[in-house]
Amino acid sequence: MRSLRQTVALTTFGLRSIPERLGASLITVIGIMTVVAVLLALLSMGEGAQFWETGQARADRAVVLSHGALSAFASRITRDQIAVLSQEPGVKKAEDGTALVTAGSMVRVDIVTRDNERGSLYLVGMTNRRVYPEIHVLAGHWPGAGLHELAVSKVAQRLDQGVEIGDRLRLRGSDWTIVGEFEDAKGVFEQVLFGDGETVLSAFGRDAYQQFVVMLDSPAAFPGFKQAVLADPSLKVDVYTEAANRETTFKGLRGLLDFVSYFIGTLMAMGAVCAALSSLYASVDARGREIATLRAVGFGAVPVLASVLIEGMLLALGAGIIGALIAWLIFNGKVISTEGLTFPLAVSPHLVLISIIWALVIGLVGGLLPAIRAAALPVASAMRDT
């Protein structure tokens, strides 16, 4: 209890002396605040990508890819396979008795953004929009079968040039007309162009689709559908829930974003640790006589060490909270587009918690050596030198 009271008293004295060394303290706060803000901004890309990739995944939709393909880009589904898959048990039927299934093929298209930079969209040829009820046509109409017509997302119209209704895109020697605008309810089709599936295949010289999506009678129908599909040796395909398929497809992107985030964050944290060392060493030097006097009247080494560490961590905590608030205000919900993918950044509560812990670790590491120095300060020497 005595050590605790001494620690509280020493910490209070240290915090009261901050105005006397305001410059060094501000360097520490600004350094840690910047680390936290940048780390959160970078991590929010991976978090936003994860929310985006799984946000509209439905438990009653299944995705079929060719055997061994990790994504649709490496998959090949033939028309013969599509005919068989459409008849498997568990496939939901529309009111007219047709199977609620769709085949898709994707092509990357170069465009120019509103900022006059090079960008890209994915042209998706799809055979049946009813499998995705979250896609809503806002203006114009859906591309007709056999026609060089395209529907563009509302987000793409806001970010890119030349994709308004009535505009034409030159693709593979043919003009394609934008005839519709749609909204995807914040799903994975936020920045794509849709065209008729068979027309896209023909225009780009393809003879097979890349993935096959099935609307099931219910989520409970998935195991039966998967078992029936895998039991047919002629199909040679893999079956996933929609959420599992999206997680597999974008796992590499999320991993890359997180790696870059922590790598850059670590480099910046090293600089912030140096700033904390400088600030807390300055604190120990400025309070040398005070610390020596307190040691002389009975204050122990442990309370001195603890007080310096606590001061560093309190500075780091305040800086971390400010940095997290700045990152949330600037980046949360901000829509970015890269490599044909468009998604909002997300500064989530658990990312804020990670960044606060990151700040506290910086404060702890930066305060350790100054704390040890303060605790080991010779009483007689300190009294004589100060």
Q: Can you say whether the dihedral through the CA atoms of 36, 272, 9, 21 is positive or negative?
A: negative
Instruction: Report the mean per-residue pLDDT for the chain.
Output: 81
Which pLDDT score, from 0 to 100, does residue 55 have? Answer: 63
Mean pLDDT on 2-18? 70
**Quick check: 106 pLDDT over 80?**
yes
Mean pLDDT on 61-76? 89
CA dihedral 35, 37, 42, 47 (to 10 degrees): 130
User: Where residue 92 falls among pLDDT bands split at 50, 70, 90?
Assistant: very high
For 145, phi and psi rounded to 5 degrees? Answer: -65, 135
Span 124-145, pLDDT tens digits? 999 999 999 888 999 999 999 9
Name the residue ranges covered by the structural domains of the chain. 2-54+251-385, 68-235
**Quick check: 382 pLDDT over 60?**
no
Span 231-249, pLDDT tens digits? 998 899 999 998 888 777 6
Span 148-193, pLDDT tens digits? 999 998 888 887 888 899 999 998 888 999 999 998 865 678 778 9
Residue predicted with more confidence, 333 or 347: 347
**Quick check: 366 pLDDT over 60?**
yes
Distance between CA 386 and CA 378 in Å, rounded? 12
**Quick check: 120 pLDDT over 70?**
yes
